[in-house]
Structure 1
Amino acid sequence: MKKAFLSIAIFTIALISSADVTAQKFAKVDVSPMDGASYPNNWKESNKLVKITYGRPQLKGRSLDKLAPNDKVWRTGANEAPEITFYKDVTFGDKAVKAGTYTLYTIPTNGDWTVILSNQKNVWGAYYYDMKEDVARVSGKVSKSDEAIESFSIVFEGEGENATMYLGWANTIVAVPVKG
């Protein structure tokens, strides 16, 4: 009986002391959480053409032109500038782009937007954007959404090796074709 009691006491002390050692402080949930989109978007399909990771800001009563000002390079989301990976050589818009990972920037305008692929990686915002690092600049065709899109979103739609990347926020949708 003494052995059983002693074993339980030692086990309890070890459990309590190990809980203190492994206690962590985790950050609160980001108000502009990271998200991702890929094509094909079926999670079972491992042979992807493209994948992007980006931050998702919300309008929260603000206007799109306040958050993504016209004629200025925008990080295309929140926090870190999005990183887009092409798993094979593609035509992005009308430009040939080698397989690899790039940072995605945009320049909003009243008409079609300029969509930029840059060699810069792991950058926060667009504060240190350098045009010399551009790989491609293409025109993103703008259309209007019937419903307001509260959270900035990116989605790919397509068939076979032909997809279109859509950026949507407020009532603005920007489309860029991606062909494998």
Structure 2
Amino acid sequence: MKEELLTIETGQVRHKQLCADVEDSRIYEILAENGLTEGTVVIWQVNKIRWGTFRDGHITFADGKPEQTALWLEGRFFNEKGEAHLTREKSFIKTQLFSIRVLLDGEGESCEHVDTLSRFWGECKAQDADWITLRDDDRKLEQIVPAVADQARFYGLVTRSYIGYDAVTAQAGYQDYRYVRIASADQKGEI
């Protein structure tokens, strides 16, 4: 999907701040309440980063292993419509309580935003209907991310940054951001 990146677009965004216990599946209720029933998930655990997909209250990770919420430090559940960003605060480290910030496009306050694409390290070494394996052979690094429709050599993460204005100085800047999707990051003229 070709799109115009790095241009200011207008729209609407709604922001919510919550706190929830992920052990009791409350996160799936929060996702469903906000229309986030399917999309991509990335989880930072104490021992690794895991990519996966979520649909109707179930996560499928690239490694095929089940959720390990006790090891979660941070997570982002996202799609074109919005994102739920979970953060285990230091004061919650011995609990399953997470601070959750939800951003939803298409409703709420008027805003401006800019979409950017940041390329993942490594190039596509394998792809099937569900997963893409990205590998940097020189550094012996590999990650497996959810598949997208476009076939490409390189992939990246589209991030949406919301523009805000300081009330005193009227200076513009990014006030928040969210993940949107994984996309082809091939550039014209690349070998």
TM-score, normalised to structure 1, is 0.24
Q: Scaled by the length of structure 2, what TM-score is found?
A: 0.23
Structure in which a larger fraction of residues adopt helix: 1
Name the structure where strand makes up a greater proportion of residues: 2
Structure possessing the higher relative contact order (Cα contacts under 8 Å, 6 or more residues apart): 2
